[in-house]
Amino acid sequence: MRSFLLVCLMILGSFARAQEAPTGKTFQFNLQQCLEYAYANNDSLKNARLDIESANYKVKETIGRGLPQVDGSASFQDFLKVPTTLLPGEFFNQPGTFVPVKFGVKYQSNAGISVSQLIFDGSYLVGLQASKTYKELSQKSFTMTKIETEIKVTKAYYQVLVNSEQLRLLDANFGQLKKQLNETQQLNKQGFVEKIDLARVQVLYNNLSTQRENIIRILALGVQLLKFQIGMRINDNLIILDRIENINLDVNQQVTVDSTAYKKRIEYSLLQTSADLNRLNVKRLKSLYLPSLSAFGSSTYNFQANKFGDLYDRKFPASVIGLNLRVPVFSGFQRQNQIKQAQIDVLKSENVINNIKNGLQLQQESSRIMFTNGLESLKNQKENMSLAQEVLRVSRIKYEQGVGSSIEVTQAQTALEQSENNYIQALYNALISKVDLDHANGRIQ
C-alpha cells in the first residue's frame, strides 16, 4: 500500500509541475519595440485593418453595378391536372353551351439566360466617387485607432518606468532604514537608546516595507496593463529595457507654438472626409432627376410534352433584346425634400468642423500649459527631494554624535518619503502631459 501511494504522489507531483511550468515567451522591449508589437498584435488595430479590407470590397461591389449582369434560370412543372378552359359551344356546333377544353400538356420546362447592362445612371457615377471616399474614411479611421493605441501604450509604458523609479528610491531608503533599525536595536540593548526611539524607527520601517510591497504589486499590474495594451498574452513575460532618465523632456523642443497644428490632427481630417461624403450624398440625390438607360437581352428554351420521357425531345426557342429608359417625372416632392435634408447635413458637418478646429486649438494651448507646469513642478520636487535627503543625512550624523534627537531623524525620514512621493507624482504628470502635448500638436501619426 505504501508503494502504491508513493507512486500516486509521484505522478501527481509531476503533473502539478507540468501545470505550473511557464509556457509563455519572454520579451525585452523598449518603447519603440512595444509600439511595433502593438501595431501588429493589438486587436483594435486588427479590426481597423479589416475595416479597410471591407471598404475595398465595398468599392468593388459598387463598380460591379456598372458591369454586365447575367442571370440563368430553369424551371420544371408537372401539371397533375391540366388547366381547363370553357369555350363557347359555337366553335363545336353546340350553340348556347360551353365546352370544357384542356389547354397545355402535363409536363413543361424551360431554361434561359438573361443579360442586362447599365448604360447611363447618374447615381452610379456619384456612387463610384462616394465609395472611394468611404475607403479613404476607413483608412483615416485606422490611422486614428493607431494613434489612440500609441497614446495608450506610451502612457502605460511611462507608468511602468515611473513605478520602477519609485521602487528604486524605496529600495535605497529601505536599505538605509533597515541599517538604522539594526543599529538602534543594538543601542537599545546596550541602554544608549530609549525604547520609544526604537519604536519610532520600527514604525517607519514597517510603513516603508508595506509601501514597498504595494509598489511591487502595482509595478506587476502596470506590466500586465502594458501587455494588454500591446496585445501580448498575459502569460508571456515582458521586460522593460528603458530607464526614466532616457526620456527626453526638453521644454524648448516640446512647447513650440504651432497655430496650424489642428490640420495635422486625424480627428480634423476625419471630419473633413465625413463632410465630403455628405456633399456627395447631395450630389447623388440631385442625380436622381436624370434619366437612366440600360440594355437587356434574354434567350429561353421551352420544352413541353405529355410524357416525361418526351419532354426534352423538342424545344421552342425565344429570344429578345431591348433598351429600358427610365425618366423620373414626379415623386410627390420626395427627392426635393431629401436634397434639403442632405444639404442640412452638410451645413451641420461644417459647423462640427469649425467647432472641432476651435476645440483642437484649445487642447493644444491647454496641453502646452499643463506640460510647462508639469516640468516646473518636477524641477521643484526634484530639488525638494535632494534637500530632504541632505536633511536626513545631517540629522543622522547629529544623532550619532549625540547632538540630535531621534525625533529629528524620524521627522527627516518622513519628510524624505513625502518628497519622494511628490517627485514620483510630478514625474508621472510631466510624462503624461508630454504625451498629451505631442498628441495635441499632431506629432503622433
For 166-207, write each residue's pLDDT tens digit. 998 888 888 888 888 887 788 778 877 788 878 888 888 898
Could you give the percent of the chain with pLDDT greater than 70?
A: 93
- Please state, rounded to an integer, the average pLDDT across all residues of the chain: 87
Asked whether residue 35 carries a pLDDT value surpassing 60, the answer given is: yes
- pLDDT value of residue 95: 84
Give the residue from 109, 124, 137 showing the smallest Cα distance to 66: 124
Residue type, 229: Q
Mean pLDDT throughout 132-150?
A: 93
Compute the distance between CA of residue 152 and CA of residue 439 in angstroms, rounded to an integer. 11
**Cell representation of residue 254:** 516640446
User: What separation in angstroms does the CA of 260 have from each of 182, 361, 433, 441?
Assistant: 62, 9, 20, 9
Give the residue from 423, 425, 426 showing the smallest Cα distance to 375: 426
Mean pLDDT throughout 65-90?
A: 89
- pLDDT value of residue 112: 95
Tens digit of each residue's pLDDT (9 = 90 or more) over 331-344? 889 999 999 999 99
3-state SS string for the chain: CHHHHHHHHHHHHHHHHHHHCCCCCEEEECHHHHHHHHHHHCHHHHHHHHHHHHHHHHHHHHHHCCCCEEEEEEEEEECCCCCEEEEEHHHHCCCCCEEEEECCCCEEEEEEEEEEEEEECHHHHHHHHHHHHHHHHHHHHHHHHHHHHHHHHHHHHHHHHHHHHHHHHHHHHHHHHHHHHHHHHHHHHCCCCCHHHHHHHHHHHHHHHHHHHHHHHHHHHHHHHHHHHHCCCCCCEEEECCCHHHCCCCHHHHCCCCCCHHHHCHHHHHHHHHHHHHHHHHHHHHHCCCCEEEEEEEEEEEEEECCHHHCCCCCEEEEEEEEEEECCCCCCCHHHHHHHHHHHHHHHHHHHHHHHHHHHHHHHHHHHHHHHHHHHHHHHHHHHHHHHHHHHHHHHHHHHCCCCCHHHHHHHHHHHHHHHHHHHHHHHHHHHHHHHHHHHCCCCC
Q: Which residue did the predictor score with more confidence, 325 or 177? A: 325
Give the residue from 369, 344, 378 showing the smallest Cα distance to 436: 369
Mean pLDDT throughout 315-336?
A: 92
The whole-model pTM stands at: 0.82
- pLDDT value of residue 253: 54
Residue 86 CB-density burial (10 A; 0-12 exposed, 13-18 middle, 19+ buried): exposed
Compute the distance between CA of residue 66 and CA of residue 144 in angstroms, rounded to an integer. 33
Cβ distance 170 to 444 under 8 Å?
no
Asked whether residue 56 carries a pLDDT value surpassing 50, the answer given is: yes
Mean pLDDT throughout 106-134?
A: 92
- pLDDT value of residue 14: 45
- The sign of the torsion formed by the CA atoms of 158, 142, 24, 19 equals positive
Q: Which residue did the predictor score with more confidence, 282 or 84? A: 282
Asked whether residue 221 carries a pLDDT value surpassing 90, the answer given is: yes
Asked whether residue 34 carries a pLDDT value surpassing 80, the answer given is: yes
Mean pLDDT throughout 430-440?
A: 91
Compute the distance between CA of residue 23 and CA of residue 12 in angstroms, rounded to an integer. 19
